[in-house]
Chain A
């Protein structure tokens, strides 16, 4: 059965950038321009989960993202690797939302897209790390959700998901339509083919403003928040590391053993 899938993706500052480049200025996180935005790691896994289903069952993938000032080449990666459509909720009014306002807007977009069997999300965004939006979309749409998925497939009109639990995993069957929230273990997102990149370059994303999905600009983004951000700060951490040296690094290794014994740690 061909499967209609929507994958929610977020453009974030590269979380693999060294910690020292992240600076809080006036209660906002800033990164220098050389830190390029990327699609968040877990959303890449979510895309791969959808592509794997498309490989076997066939179907259609719509990538959906919310934000403002998207870098087209970054977000179009979803098309380059094999998504069929790209829908951007792009407007200043969408900025600085919380999990509630984000899920609310994405759910409204999903309704407008209309046909869907599975909505894939990443387990948490690489910036705010809240891990709520996928579940929020499911609650708003009144459909089931399975989180921490490391494998997802379709059989008999239902999805079969491997959900990670602390000491192993569960195989869970869920009725469709459903939200599936993806963690690592799905496998890295495939590389775009040259053909995929060229096709993506030609394709224009669909851009929706709040009014296009039936939202008032004054009730979304920062204005639609349910929690208030009082302060963003970076705790000061002083390094107190004692570096053990030696003639050779092997000697340093041996001296470390001696030092730890002296300090009665081992």
Chain B
């Protein structure tokens, strides 16, 4: 039986550059590797990865397995999983860290079932048990109403990690590491899906994930219109973006890409203004990393007031226009 050693980060690229989730995983992986006194490696698989490979070293990797293949430009589960499976079987890592992203969600369970191991998805916290050397994996369950701690005896120990929960290391271009070009034959007969079309839907303007201020509306908004008027006016004033909890997205009041929560986007702005949002754990899972949360809700018992730093109890139709107009006055003066 192979000896399982080291930490492997499954990296991702965004527009050809190392994705922020990957720098977070490398930061987390570096700590775990140092604690275990083992190596941290990173797998990058796309059409061209050499620039990102150097970045991965600057962010903490000792080794980068660089797989370049034209068919890997766009993620397709059946080709991508083959590559990861092959590399993992070659290097037998003790721990595999994957982002809880569109790619990670889709790939990690396939890989785990293929390798006959388990994966714990959406982890918020990882540590090494000093006695057993096992990875202690903490993740939210019941829509965020509780947290569960898992371990697994099976190797490799696999987890996916929620975005923005781990800190990247300071970038250090002088760090030394090794880039290992790795060839993997992709069996295209095993690719059973075909991407017919890729459609960008994101609205122009500030991206939700990058916005310093987010003005978010919930079920209590009652329909699509206030998102385009009351909320947009406030968001524009603060150079922020409009978001939503799940019900407005499910009801089609806003496009799905504005949905913030466990199954939507995870955001961590400086200011998060939650309007007519009850604060179900499902939603706060997506915004609890915000620096300051401000809540406006007509129900004084609403859970969102437990998360918020400042709040007003009242109907949004009355509170928000008064808040916006006073703020306009203060910001002008």
* Chain A contact residues, CB within 8 Å of chain B: 13, 15-16, 18-20, 22, 24, 29, 98-100, 103, 123-124, 126-132, 135-136, 138-140, 143-148, 150, 160, 164-175, 178, 183-185, 188, 226-235, 237, 239-245, 248-254, 256-261, 263, 265-266
Contact A166 B102 (CB under 8 A): yes
Cβ 8 A contact of A15, one of B143, B154, B238, B257 = B143
Shortest Cβ distance from A147 into B: residue: B106
CA distance A15 to B324 in the complex (A): 34
Whether, in the assembled complex, B27 has its beta carbon less than 8 Å from a beta carbon of chain A, the answer is: no
Residues of B near A128 (CB, < 8 A) are 141-142, 148
With contacts A103-B113, A253-B323 taken as known, whether A259 is within 8 angstroms of B330 at the C-beta atoms is no
* Chain B contact residues, CB within 8 Å of chain A: 77-78, 101-102, 105-106, 109-110, 112-114, 117-122, 136, 140-154, 192-202, 213, 238, 246, 249-250, 256-257, 259, 262-263, 270-271, 279-282, 292, 294-296, 300, 303, 305-315, 318-327, 330-331
Residues of A near B145 (CB, < 8 A) are 19, 22, 29, 234
Residues of A near B319 (CB, < 8 A) are 249-250, 252-253, 256
With contacts A129-B142, A129-B262, A232-B146 taken as known, whether A171 is within 8 angstroms of B330 at the C-beta atoms is no
With contacts A19-B145, A168-B202 taken as known, whether A132 is within 8 angstroms of B311 at the C-beta atoms is no
Tell me the smallest distance from the CB of B249 to a CB of chain A, in Å. 6
Cβ 8 A contact of B119, one of A132, A160, A242 = A132
CA distance A24 to B140 in the complex (A): 13
Mind listing 20 A-B residue pairs with CB under 8 Å?
A: A13-B142, A22-B142, A22-B146, A98-B118, A126-B142, A128-B148, A139-B110, A144-B77, A169-B201, A172-B195, A228-B152, A233-B146, A239-B305, A253-B318, A253-B321, A253-B323, A254-B326, A256-B319, A256-B323, A257-B327
Residues of B near A239 (CB, < 8 A) are 305-306
Shortest Cβ distance from A162 into B: residue: B199
Contact A147 B330 (CB under 8 A): no
Contact B146 A29 (CB under 8 A): yes
Residues of B near A16 (CB, < 8 A) are 280
A-B residue pair count with CB separations less than 8 angstroms: 256
Shortest Cβ distance from A186 into B: residue: B250
CA distance A98 to B120 in the complex (A): 10
Contact B310 A244 (CB under 8 A): yes
Residues of A near B78 (CB, < 8 A) are 144
Contact B262 A173 (CB under 8 A): no
Q: Can you list the 7 inter-chain pairs with the closest CB atoms, starting with the nearest?
A: A249-B314, A253-B322, A139-B113, A168-B201, A144-B192, A257-B326, A226-B118
Contact B256 A165 (CB under 8 A): no
With contacts A148-B102, A168-B199, A256-B294 taken as known, whether A226 is within 8 angstroms of B141 at the C-beta atoms is no
Cβ 8 A contact of A173, one of B151, B193, B292, B295 = B193
User: Which of A138, A143, A169, A266 has the most chain B CB atoms closer than 10 A to its own CB?
Assistant: A266
Do most interface residues of chain A lie in helix, strand or loop, or is the interface mixed? mixed
Contact B263 A123 (CB under 8 A): yes
Contact A227 B118 (CB under 8 A): yes
CA distance A250 to B271 in the complex (A): 21
CA distance A129 to B124 in the complex (A): 14
Cβ 8 A contact of B271, one of A140, A174, A235, A265 = A265
With contacts A171-B195, A235-B147, A250-B319 taken as known, whether A15 is within 8 angstroms of B142 at the C-beta atoms is yes
CA distance A124 to B319 in the complex (A): 36
CA distance A185 to B253 in the complex (A): 11
Tell me the smallest distance from the CB of B196 to a CB of chain A, in Å. 4
Contact B200 A183 (CB under 8 A): no
